Structure 1
Amino acid sequence: MTQFCGRVDTEFISGPQVFDRAIGAVRGHLDKLMVLYDGRVIGGRLHDLVYETLWAHGFHWTEMDLAEGEGPPFARDALGPSSLAGGEDPSGGSRVVARGIDIYQRYRLDGILAVGGARTLQCAQAIAAAGRFGRRGEGGEPALPLFAVFTLASSGREGALPGFAPVGSPGPLPRLLALDPVFAYTGDRGQVAEEIAGLFCRGLELYLAPGEGAYLQRRLAEGILKTCIHCAGGALRGEEGACGDLLWALGLAVSELPGWGRKLPWEVHGMGRQLCDRFDAPWGAVLSVLAPAWMGYVLRATTLEKFAEYGVQVWRLNRELPKEELARRAIDETQRFFTQVLGLPERLGELGAAGGQLGELAERAAAPALQEGVVPLDAADVLEIYRACL
């Protein structure tokens, strides 16, 4: 474990019907909000609930819908309509960030309220962080105040955002994070499955990150993985208890606590980003295809112990089995979880990926961070992993 200095300033509010309480807490800090959400996930009843609650607490707000070219008019007197220019999908991430900053400045807003899954939060973090790095104006300003309400569904289309900071890099955490099961099951079954897959892959990379020690951090990551396995079926059926547990696991994952004191190269996330961007494929589905292929590729003598431990601790395999068999079975169990429990694709071809473009994508994915992974990877290695997914 390396030296680290950490601080989490996020207030967590969890449980049924806590949304009103959370919005009341936000009202103590802010008056004018940007509400950032994905209309493919947040719509109808929940869309109305968000706005009715904001109105009841006296907010002024504007909205930024990641799914639409133009959202409905914004509420209250001072704020006028705005839109995502050109109706582009959030895979054009750098323009989304620029547009978000433009809206924020134009209406002199006080903060951002993100309503969605982990990737919607990342969109909001990118907009909030732009202020910190001086892109809002001269001299550099602190990160914009950020608040979030998690859902257990994601369209997946915001998974690869050019210009966004990589997963796991420092970014502004929400000052308040509401985990209300009412918001858990907001999309269809496939969207919920993709969000669970994304959460599982985040936990997987936290668990298998290189280096020795960090026992507590690995147990936290293990808890995230076990929660995904235990609660996935119930969440897909819309059971409140399972959804609530997964929301809390999602909150723990994005808090960055399981990664403190460790180098986190995020190999699967880095490789998946390129595929999502090129093929407009759902983020969680891409990760669920890539993760088992990556695990099989990096399984060797130097990683055997860690993969065998993963099989015993997470999948409860018999520790008396030979280590190589444990490791192989653990990879198989991981793939079965994605395909049989979550019902996600097994091959990139099912997501529209074409083999002829993989070489270029592998070159782009081979960032320096991959050299610090579980096994150092270059472009040729990434290409082999991509090909194993076809």
Structure 2
Amino acid sequence: MTSPFVPGTSVHVEGRPGGPLAGLTFAAKDLFDVAGHVTGGGNPDWARQNPVPSRHAWAVQALLDAGATLTAKTITDEVSLGILGENAFEGTPLNPAAPGHVPGGSSSGSASAVAQGLCDTSLGTDTGGSVRVPASFCGLYGIRPTHGRLDLTGMMPQAPSSDTAGWFARDAATFARVSAVLLQEAIGPAVPDRLVIATDAFGFADPATAEALEPLLDRLKRLVPEWREEVMAPQGLSTWSRAQRTLQPVEAWQTFRPWVERDNPRFAFGVARGLVLASMTPESELGWAALVRREARGRLRHLLPPGTILAMPTTPFPAPKAGLPLPDLDGIRAAINMLCAHGGLAGHPQVSIPGATVDGRPIGLSLLAARGADALLVRTALALEKS
């Protein structure tokens, strides 16, 4: 296992004195521009073949303006095309909550740095689960905001219809302070009126994971006036997953195709294979997947009117071992995507909350809300920590 920081880099930018985040330190995933430093994207040829930025990414600048000090850039899965946190070029950051196991990706270094106490908060990105999964595996608070809510200027894209910028923290109070700045909204006192428990998501999770989350779920039920059980994906979680695994890779291919065709960059086998397969996706598959996305958006709008939250496991199991053979990884990634696909499909905000373990390894409980109700989820996380 390796350091969470990008090899060979040294970054330090002081925050504005007296801001609401004064005294906090943060790191930024190596997809976010930092003026005067290359944005490497976890691939040596991307770093070599793209210009050094002259301005900070919006999210980096927002944290600096609020008083937080930037101390590092962090490792990412190669061009953000990963979910486990293993980078063939830069290594696998340590998961201090589960040594010998993956930290989760693609915001692996950002999660690892916070979990190790090397910074107070960090910026990540989430397209297909890249904040939610490492938050679960490393025992952190993590958020995938409402799609389109944050300004992504200066953030390296992957699949724009699913891309978001998110962040991590070890405790709910710090998480709320950072959330108020990046969401540009006060984290008020309101808690949800209704709770929906996604029975299909809990049913898909490993039995040990579902059982480990029960105490957190019981505390959540006591916070909310009423709760009920519902199936989140009537078409099947596997249908939603297949649709997202069709749409997202094709968008990623469209994003990186000009670079690939111009510069013929080096890739790890798994990343290259994914781009090649995406490039051959037939139009009929894309049309089908677009219809499933429309269904998923309608279903979550129905389940999540204002004042309602939905609870589900963030991941179906805790962090797998690091360094597994390639043939073992496809099934692991597919299972993780079963509980993450809705994020890219429907764009609702989601917060992963720590507080449970399986065999000593963390597992997160996720809360979803209506689009735009990000602050309600952050406030619920605060209330749950104090309950």
Greater relative contact order, per chain length (Cα 8 Å cut-off, separation 6+): 2
TM-score normalised over the length of structure 1: 0.30
- Determine which structure has the larger helix proportion and give its number: 1
TM-score normalised over the length of structure 2: 0.30
